[in-house]
A = this chain, B = another copy of it.
Amino acid sequence: MQGDRNKILIESIKRLLRRGATSHLLNIVRKTHGADLSAVFPLLSLSDQHKLFDMIKDVEQKGILFSELEEDIFLSFIEGLDMDEVVEILENMPADDVADLVGRLPEEMSDSILEKMKKEGSEEVEELLRYEDDTAGGIMVPDFIALKEDTTAKEAIESLQKEHMDVEMPFYLYVVDEYGKLVGVSSLRQLVVVGPETPLKDFMTPDVYSVQTDMDQEEVAKIVARYDILAVPVVDETNRLVGIVTVDDVIDIFRQEATEDILKMAGVGEEFVETKSVLKSTRIRLPWLFASCIGGIIALFIIGHFESSLNKFAFLAVFIPVIMGMGGNIGTQSSTIVVRGLATGRIDIRDIWSVVLKELSIGCILGIVYGFLIGAVAQVRYSSTELAVSVGLAVISSMAVAALVGSLVPMAFARINIDPAVATGPFVTTAIDVISVFFYFVIATTLLGI
């Protein structure tokens, strides 16, 4: 449905641009959310992008469009714009989105823009650019409502009417002491419910969840999700309130982190490459496959080592795929469970041994089940008990080792602060392939006495 609406919008806009139907276009543009316009942009020529952009009369709508555009589209589009216009748009955007955009621009451009944003907006943005991108400081907005403890409900409402018109999410009123330190929180709703002369300290909640500027964005997101709050206040080392992280950014963080994890596990970098060109995608995916290539070449030399056995018993080769496949698949299961479990907090990094032991047990049980099954196939097909036993044992050991490696490697990486999702993907799979093949040939040549 969403998709259909977009399709209709895109086609109308393209048609009207072709016909030069300005008044129609103005009307559509006015009624369309910036987020929806951003979906149209990649499908237009650069000159049509500018034509469409000029029809947006509302500077805030332009800002939303800016923050929703894909990075490469945004960069090529902004080059053709007058810098004064860009600055005007940025000044009307939330400071965290501005910091995000400015951080992506080439340095000369971002410097000149920051210089032009002389007003308070610019200081805020420069302030935000000081923090690491993916920390609470990097994603917070400095627009929040902070009031003293003895402010009355009526005074608070008056200050909302006069001063805080540009605050993005005015649902929480933070209460601070004379040094700007966070002491409590109240809600807009409580303001209208209590008597007008009640001071904030009488109805504020003193237990307020806050995060420090250097906390990782994923941790921040987990706190917002855990306590079902709409924003979390960010404080500096001295507990002074410096910003808030809002729930809409939390949604973006979760989606972005999930995408990153999924892509890393599959060995396709961190960022979504589908929209990039064929050559660019190829370049990103090439190195990850190299791990698999090296693993395959190692397996090649291992099997080559057993060539004389293969010369006598060619049928040994027949079971290579099934042994590799079983190991690879159970290894993927184990590592996926661990990586996602760590990301969602279902698995604790300190439980490394109990998690690995559990995966190993599962690997052994499943190994025995499939070892018997595939061993039976070997017995029926080649009527050799030694071969059947070798194949069965190879399946068991390959699956057990795969479950062990698949769970141990990401847990160990997480423990030394390396992203476990990277450890998964091609590396674990390749390691398991090599180990499986090795075990199989050692077991088979021993049992068959070659």
Task: Look across to chain B and name the residue whose beta carbon is closest to the beta carbon of A38.
Answer: B226
Residues of B within 8 A of A115 (CB): none
Task: Look across to chain B and name the residue whose beta carbon is closest to the beta carbon of A275.
Answer: B346
A358 interface residue (CB < 8 Å to B): yes
A3-B348 contact given A262-B336, A311-B314, A329-B289, CB 8 Å threshold: yes
Given A262-B336, A266-B336, A274-B346, 14 more pairs with CB closer than 8 A = A2-B226, A3-B349, A161-B193, A225-B248, A247-B247, A254-B255, A259-B340, A263-B336, A263-B340, A266-B337, A274-B347, A307-B318, A310-B317, A325-B430
A16 interface residue (CB < 8 Å to B): no
Residues of B within 8 A of A252 (CB): 225
A73 interface residue (CB < 8 Å to B): no
Residues of B within 8 A of A322 (CB): 293, 295-297, 299-300
Q: How far is the CA of A366 from the CA of B288 in the complex (A)?
A: 11
Beta-carbon contacts under 8 Å, A191-221 to B: 191-193, 207, 215, 219
A83 interface residue (CB < 8 Å to B): no
Give the number of copies in the complex: 2
Residues of B within 8 A of A188 (CB): 171, 188-189, 192
Q: How far is the CA of A367 from the CA of B223 in the complex (A)?
A: 45
17 sample A-B contacts, Cβ–Cβ < 8 Å, listed by A number: A2-B345, A3-B345, A3-B348, A191-B192, A247-B251, A262-B265, A266-B332, A272-B337, A272-B344, A274-B358, A278-B365, A286-B366, A292-B325, A292-B326, A297-B374, A299-B325, A304-B318
Q: How far is the CA of A316 from the CA of B310 in the complex (A)?
A: 10
Q: How far is the CA of A286 from the CA of B273 in the complex (A)?
A: 33
A321-B299 contact given A192-B188, A292-B326, A429-B328, CB 8 Å threshold: yes
Contact B258 A254 (CB under 8 A): yes
**Minimum CB–CB distance for A35 against chain B, Å:** 5
A369 interface residue (CB < 8 Å to B): yes
**Minimum CB–CB distance for A159 against chain B, Å:** 10
* Cβ contact of A377, chosen from B224, B297, B326, B335, cutoff 8 A: B297
Q: How far is the CA of A334 from the CA of B215 in the complex (A)?
A: 34
Q: How far is the CA of A349 from the CA of B3 in the complex (A)?
A: 9
**Minimum CB–CB distance for A15 against chain B, Å:** 18
Q: Which size class do A's interface residues fall under?
A: 35 or more
Beta-carbon contacts under 8 Å, A312-367 to B: 314-326, 328-330, 332-333, 335-341, 344-350, 355, 358, 361-362, 365-366
Q: How far is the CA of A251 from the CA of B258 in the complex (A)?
A: 12
A222 interface residue (CB < 8 Å to B): yes
A77 interface residue (CB < 8 Å to B): no
A296-B250 contact given A33-B227, A328-B429, CB 8 Å threshold: no
**Minimum CB–CB distance for A380 against chain B, Å:** 11
Q: How far is the CA of A304 from the CA of B387 in the complex (A)?
A: 14
**Minimum CB–CB distance for A157 against chain B, Å:** 5
A383 interface residue (CB < 8 Å to B): no
Chain A 139-173: CB-based contact to B (< 8 A → 1; otherwise 0):
00000000000000000010011000100001100
A285 interface residue (CB < 8 Å to B): yes
**Minimum CB–CB distance for A347 against chain B, Å:** 6
A228 interface residue (CB < 8 Å to B): yes
Residues of B within 8 A of A170 (CB): 189
Residues of B within 8 A of A292 (CB): 325-326, 328-329
A437 interface residue (CB < 8 Å to B): yes
Task: Look across to chain B and name the residue whose beta carbon is closest to the beta carbon of A67.
Answer: B228
Contact A361 B278 (CB under 8 A): yes
Contact B192 A160 (CB under 8 A): yes
Contact B374 A293 (CB under 8 A): yes
Contact A255 B3 (CB under 8 A): no
A138 interface residue (CB < 8 Å to B): no
A303 interface residue (CB < 8 Å to B): yes
A230 interface residue (CB < 8 Å to B): yes
